[in-house]
Amino acid sequence: MDNDVMRLKVKEKALDILKKACIAVTDEEVNNMEITDFGLGHLEQVGLQLIVYVNNDRYCAKELIMLPGQTCPEHRHPPVNGRQGKQETFRCRWGKVYLFVEGKEEKQPDVKPPLRPEYYTARRQILLLPAQQYTIPPNTKHWFQAGDDGAVISEFSSTSTDEYDVFTDPMVRRK
């Protein structure tokens, strides 16, 4: 399938998920929605759809929309320009989110990475259901995967400098 056609199809699915979650967005936000496959070419398995509400030198607010089973690859937010890395709070708004962070593995994980599992080293699973949230400290490896229905995550963070994110998988490219 043509890359542009795939992105349009994924955007339509993301908008359907937002509608199910009763989250209203503007036409401008829809037009500016970022759709990334992280350079891996498997958008419906490894990817993310983002709407950025605000990102300035003090704080950032985003909506992360995930298709069923879609995974955001493992990464961390390192210090940038003398500032500590991004600290972010994920609040599940709709669906289920399986968040993995560095730390002691507490149990057998409920989900597995869809591709290249050797590049997913964070093993502490945190299940986020609607209205639950978790704060990820700066420079902490993490990855996350949507449940069977997809998910919407509101992200509240310090300034986002995602172009400096460090991914565990050397093949990942943030566009």
> What's the token pair of residue 53?
């509400």
CB 62 within 8 A of CB 130: no
Residue-level pLDDT at 175: 62
Give the chain's domains with CATH numbers.
3-167 (2.60.120.10)
Average confidence score pLDDT of the chain: 95
User: What distance in Å separates the CA atoms of residue 126 and residue 102, rounded to the nearest whole number?
Assistant: 11
pLDDT per residue over 88-127, tens digit each? 999 999 999 999 999 988 678 999 999 999 999 999 999 9
Whole-angstrom CA distances from 147 to 57, 110, 121, 123, 131 are: 33, 10, 20, 17, 15
Nearest-angstrom CA–CA distance, 96 and 158: 24
| Report field, pTM of the whole predicted structure over 0.85 | yes
